[in-house]
Chains A and B, each alone.
Chain A
Amino acid sequence: MIIYNKTWLANLIIQDQMNKSVIAGDLPKEEFKNIERTYPVGFYSPNIFVRTGLFVLTCIIALFGGCLLSYIFWDTGMVDSGGWILFLGLISYIALEIVVKKKNHFRSGTDDALLWISGGLFCVSFVWMTAKLNWFFNNGDLHSSIPIATFALLLSIYLALRFADSLMALFSFLALLSLIVMLAIYHLSFGASILPFLVMLISAVVYYFFLSAGSKLKFVHYQHCLLFLQTGSLLTLYLAGNYYVVQQLGNELYGYTSIGPYKVPYPIFFWPWTILVPFIYTGLGIYKKNVILLRTGLVLIAIAAITFKNYYHVLPIEVTLVLIGLFTLAGSYLTIRYLKTPRNGFTSRELQQDTIAGGINMESLIIATTQLDAPKGTETRFGGGDFGGGGSSSTF
């Protein structure tokens, strides 16, 4: 099923593992070179910058190539149909297979671009041919999108399995979720009322399945996909029970009924879910030393806080900010001090430098992009309009 050379994939895992040891300073460079020679990897997978460049350029080629072909065949009248889109999709898919098979591209940017272009074209042609250009699905009736979701699901599962693409795997999970949700709404009389629980159930099953799949040899080539799927299912598991999400989606489904605006039923269940689940994730993440659980939990704590803030205004926003800021600073300071010498297998030191190829420190890039507004922001706060960024206005 998988298109790539399996020996190379296995060798890649070995090399990645050994590379970590080299960075951590456990494995001498010469020994690594020997391992590299004994377990060669023939893939063409360049660094992230070349990958970005190749992605952009492949999109340009596909776009203008499609235009050129359409232009040439314009007079024949074939262009104005779903079949033409299918044809273009097939061309890009064949190009993808050739690039991967003959040129051994593996996460090189070119294959990423072709994968998504061909997938997108297939979906568009499917919609075109089944819905016969009726883009608006009978005035907002989502019913006709069930076959589309089914098609997208099958297609993305195929592509994810064949090309071991992590984003595609995540996409197929989302397609599965939306398909089941739509089926429940349209084919179950009580479907809409159990939606949150249905999504939770599916996410939990999916998470459990892919968590246990991580240790199985069968899935060894899909490690990246598994990580994405775990993160995705953890997120949907939480969001399905998040108070704000439930209320908004309930509003979408029911709107204003005769008894007034939509109210979330069982707040006794949904509020604790909203607040507690992120902490459970974080706690479990630390307990099990699972990075995905931990990081997802930390992000979700912030979302839980915002959700809570949205409904209950205990403190004015600025006091909340100051308090949370102080609390986070103090907490991380104490943790860093506590973990200065590793305890219980935890450390606050970094085990590997977070540099990417090309000799760039990731942190400096992040600070460079996010701190841009900081000084301007702090000054305009006092401006009240007329001081405006300390003379940055054009009148100055």
Chain B
Amino acid sequence: MNTDLYKKLHNEGLISDETLEKIIAKNTTPLFSLHWELKTLLYLGVTLLSTGLGVLIYKNIDTIGHQFILLFIAAICAGCFIYCIKNRNPFSREKSDSPSSFYDYILLLGCLSLLSFLGYLQFQYHVFGDNYGLATLIPMLILFYVAYEFDHIGILCMGITNLAIWLGLTVNPYTILSNGLGSNNSLIIPYLFLGLFLLAAGYVSERYNFKKHFKFTYQNFGLNISFLALFTGYFTTYDNALSFLWLIGVFVLAFILYTDALKNKSFYFLLLIILYAYTAISTLIVRVLFNMNSEAAFVMGLLYFIGSAICLIIALIQLNKKIKES
């Protein structure tokens, strides 16, 4: 990096003497940050290690003694947690900065090995009997506790996933899309409740200023789950005359979330909400046009998509401007 540009700006009176000195002093010893690389390596190390341990245990389950394996995982898990407890910052309702990125990933490793430990315990000794609800409830509670206590968003995500497993479903959107919830009607309602619950959790954490920065994660999961559930509800009851009620749900939810996203100036959520709402309107209009079943309807459909997309582009640009100015 050269300082010529700064000097030029200084000559034009745009940069004060003080700032220029500071920048020149900094540039005599330029720093090269390995932060990103080290973080990626840590993440990779944790993932590889926990995967490798899992496979190792699974393959050798008959040859090594069970107690020994359990002890081994417990030792790793305990080691991780001891390290984290020793190095942690005191609990706070606000965001507490983690001591180092190494700490973050050791906590992740600890939680992953804890899940292995509990899973192994259940598989080998049936600690929870056939009560699978309990077997997933306990890891979930622990994960949520750890996420809040140690302030770790990655573990919060794991907790939310486990919450979904506990409810008897899996959050991964890809599995939903590939399996097609349609064949599994009974899951739509719990799914919708899960989504709304997570949205509420996000709202509460902001409203009562308790780990405010978790809101994004809650809202991200909650928003996608709720909208997907509403859309699946609509398409599974497509032939029913009352199916439009699901889409009304989409619009109501979109409106509520829209005002919230506008308040928080979140472009990410605004884009998601707009695209979901647009899909809802388009499905309605395409449906009406299909019922007309004429050439004019075909042309109207084409015109609708061109016109609506242009309108949305203008709206997006305006919205962007509005948020930037405010």
Contacts and interface: CB of A to CB of B under 8 A. Distances in A.
A360 B269 CA distance: 11
Given A295-B37, A392-B168, A50 B123 contact: no
Choose among A46, A68, A375 the residue with the greatest number of B CB atoms under 10 Å from its CB: A375
A171 B47 CA distance: 33
Given A68-B302, A378-B116, A345 B102 contact: no
B217 A329 contact: no
A390 B41 contact: no
A350 B35 CA distance: 5
B49 A58 contact: no
A378 B54 CA distance: 7
A77 interface: no
B54 A381 contact: yes
B133 interface: yes
Interface stretch (A59-67, A78-86, A173-181, A227-235): A59-67
Nearest to B26: A26
Given A14-B5, A320-B52, A359 B220 contact: no
Given A336-B102, A342-B31, A367-B153, A324 B317 contact: no
B265 A358 contact: yes
Contacts of A184: none
A28 interface: yes
A390 B122 contact: yes
Judged by DSSP, the binding face of A is helix
A324 B49 CA distance: 7
B274 interface: yes
Interface in A282-319: 289, 294-295, 298, 316-319
Contact of A64 (B40, B45, B132, B302): B302
B261 to A, nearest CB: 10
Interface string B47-59: 1111111111111
Interface stretch (B197-205, B244-252, B303-311): B303-311
B35 A49 contact: no
A68 B299 CA distance: 7
Could you say which of A44, A68, A321 has the most chain B C-beta atoms within 10 Å of its C-beta?
A321
Interface string A341-385: 010011111110010011110011001100111111111011110
A279 B149 CA distance: 40
Contact of B168 (A298, A350, A387, A394): A394
Interface residues of B, number: 99
Chain A contact-residue range equals 35 or more
Nearest to B118: A379
B154 A52 contact: no
B31 A351 contact: yes
B123 A322 contact: no
A189 to B, nearest CB: 46
B168 to A, nearest CB: 6
A260 interface: no
Given A348-B38, A382-B58, A65 B48 contact: no
B177 interface: no
A298 B169 CA distance: 37
A394 B306 CA distance: 42
Contacts of B229: none
Nearest to B319: A50
A324 B302 contact: no
19 contacts: A26-B26, A28-B16, A46-B320, A50-B316, A71-B302, A318-B55, A320-B52, A321-B49, A321-B52, A321-B55, A325-B45, A333-B102, A342-B29, A349-B33, A359-B266, A372-B171, A389-B165, A389-B170, A391-B136
By Cβ-Cβ distance, the 3 closest A-B pairs, closest first, are: A321-B52, A325-B49, A391-B132
